[in-house]
Amino acid sequence: MARMRAVDAAVLVLEKEGITNAFGVPGAAINPLYSALKARGTIRHVLARHVEGASHMAEGYTRAKAGNIGLCIGTSGPAGTDMITGLYSASADSIPILCITGQAPRARLNKEDFQAVDIASIAAPVAKWAVTVMEPYLVPMALQKAFHLMRSSRPGPVLIDLPVDVQLAEIEFDIDAYEPLCPFKPAMTRAQAEKALAMLNEAQKPLIVAGGGIINADASDLLIEFAEITGVPVIPTLMGWGAIPDDHRLMAGMCGLQTSHRYGNATMLASDFVFGIGNRWANRHTGSVDVYTKGKKFIHVDIEPTQIGRVFAPDLGVVSDAGAALKILLDVATEWRTAGKLRDWSGWAKECQQRKKTMKRKTHFEQVPLKPQRVYEEMNKAFGRDTTYVTTIGLSQIAGAQFLHVYKPRNWINCGQAGPLGWTLPAALGVRAADPDRDIVALSGDYDFQFMIEELAVGAQHKLPYIHVVVNNAYLGLIRQAQRGFSMDYEVSLAFENVNRVNDPEAGYGVDHVAVAEAMGCKAVRVKKPEEFAGAFKEAQRLMKEHQVPVVLEFILERVTNISMGTEIDKVTEFEELAESHEDAPTAIVMLD
């Protein structure tokens, strides 16, 4: 046993739980914890410019690698309220992050003290657990519970609020006697696996819907093996994209109202059986339940019992970690295949492959200003199979999901359910902090980029290089497109005549993103014409490697482009002509006007 401040014990616990990086902003009420971090010197800290940005950096850090947990730190009052969007985003996508806030002294709580707010109550709806720790010795114990909760069952975020006097109080603590708690993860039984495979065997046109739970469980290899043993095509959700490579013969495309492929929707409509693993039947994937489920039977495997039946009742529901489920399913399927007990779905798989070859959207346009689909076509050429894409919401994200290609798990890092603007930039910085070697390309529309543009300075200060593709049409493009249903175009234009852009043909686009990026200590390249693409991508990569800072790669788009989407998976509106229906048609997929 050793006598120490509660915050010194907290840092020892953080180390033992595997924390090596933190993102945050210091302040008076959290300075004791920062003094403990400084004294130990074992946890790297990245100073954000906005605490919401720090929370999204923590998200990006977690999402980048299996086993990671991002840590976000802030002071009392507004720092905690700034974290709420990050907590919501993490909670919605089953992402564990730990948020630690400072708090007024215990004697001053409920007395309207400066920056004293009941942050635990505010955070509770968007966290697995939110607590203000009122006893000093409970600080390390609260952290132990937090890590156990974050890792158990459906992962999610936790907020721990520490009054300043609790942080400073001395306790007796022995870190050598501390051990992380073993997380709880339910597992499918053999009997359940046999029941599921017996139901699958009755289907003529089955599909596997692969959700983000497979990536959370680090079980993508098991998914591919299971698909190959059974011969059943796979439809990844947006959060599960990358669990099976885009060019795998059994990757049948994504389904949905927006971030989907024409061939993915067509295959879903043609199927008669859906085996959902680690997915949540999100609305942007399903559209209306009646259309999505018509003529099909369903199995749903999820780690959280209350997810099963939440959207619609499956024919069979199994509570299990996706990795544990796939392992036993693979074992049983392998035995059945060897014994000749599994049905042959090769004809159905070939039918799905044919749709994938022929049902494409056009990407090759020569217009100036640029059409967005051409940007994504060129990105596919410029960036390799190992590229990690980071994005959040808007026409840029929807188009990216339709046209880009992803080949590995965690190479599509996307805020799925919450979709907060501004998420992309700090999340990309968190991904870089988690992995200094991978190729990272962020994708934003101009509005998403402007939301937290100040975080570029973080990338410059802390040498967190990546390429940020900004497709600039000076519009809130997705909202403008949605306003067509109201016959209006109201308060969604970002364009204005920028008086500081003398003799600049893009002055009417308003904000000069190149100038802002350079003012923040980063580098930037602007692209206006198709013939500039190849050189710009090479220049961006050169600048990033040479200067070790974020590089903004801005593409000047036509102002209005409508992207393919609809209200039902059988009613997606295509706004442009489609690619020629032959096997050599470009495999990229893009949004059309």
CA separation for the pair 417, 415 (Å, rounded): 6
Specify the length of the chain in residues. Answer: 593
Secondary structure of residue 159 in the 3-state scheme: strand
CA separation for the pair 416, 256 (Å, rounded): 13
Question: 14, 139, 164, 421: which is the annotated catalytic residue?
Answer: 421
CA separation for the pair 558, 261 (Å, rounded): 23
Beta bridge partners of 274: 207, 298
Catalytic (active site) residue 166: no
Catalytic (active site) residue 479: yes
Q: Say how many C-beta atoms besides its own lie within 10 A of residue 358's C-beta.
A: 17
CA separation for the pair 466, 429 (Å, rounded): 8
Of 71, 54, 59, 166, nearest to 109 by C-alpha is 166
Catalytic (active site) residue 51: yes
Question: 479, 492, 494, 578: which is the annotated catalytic residue?
Answer: 479
> What letter would DSSP give residue 389?
E
Question: 25, 200, 440, 511: which is the annotated catalytic residue?
Answer: 25
CA separation for the pair 472, 396 (Å, rounded): 9
Which amino acid is residue 580, in one-letter code? E
List the structure tokens of 110. 């409920």
Q: Say how many C-beta atoms besides its own lie within 10 A of residue 314's C-beta.
A: 20
List the structure tokens of 179. 């051990």
Owner of token pair 């965690």: 410
Beta bridge partners of 5: 170
CA separation for the pair 450, 324 (Å, rounded): 42
Question: 7, 30, 46, 51: which is the annotated catalytic residue?
Answer: 51
Catalytic (active site) residue 197: no
Number of Cα atoms under 13 Å in the Cβ half of residue 490: 7
Helix (H) or strand (E) holding 15: helix 6-16
In angstroms, how far apart are the furthest CA atoms of the chain?
75
Catalytic (active site) residue 138: no
Q: Specify whether the CB–CB gap between 234 and 400 falls below 8 A.
A: no
Beta bridge partners of 469: 443, 553
List the structure tokens of 552. 């903004």
Q: Where are the alpha helices (DSSP H) in 17-106?
A: 31-40, 51-64, 78-82, 84-92
Report the alpha-carbon angle 402-407-411, nearest 5. Answer: 85
CA separation for the pair 468, 426 (Å, rounded): 11
Residues 6+ apart with CB under 8 A from 368: 528, 529, 530
CA separation for the pair 115, 75 (Å, rounded): 9
Q: Which residues are catalytic?
A: 25, 51, 421, 476, 479
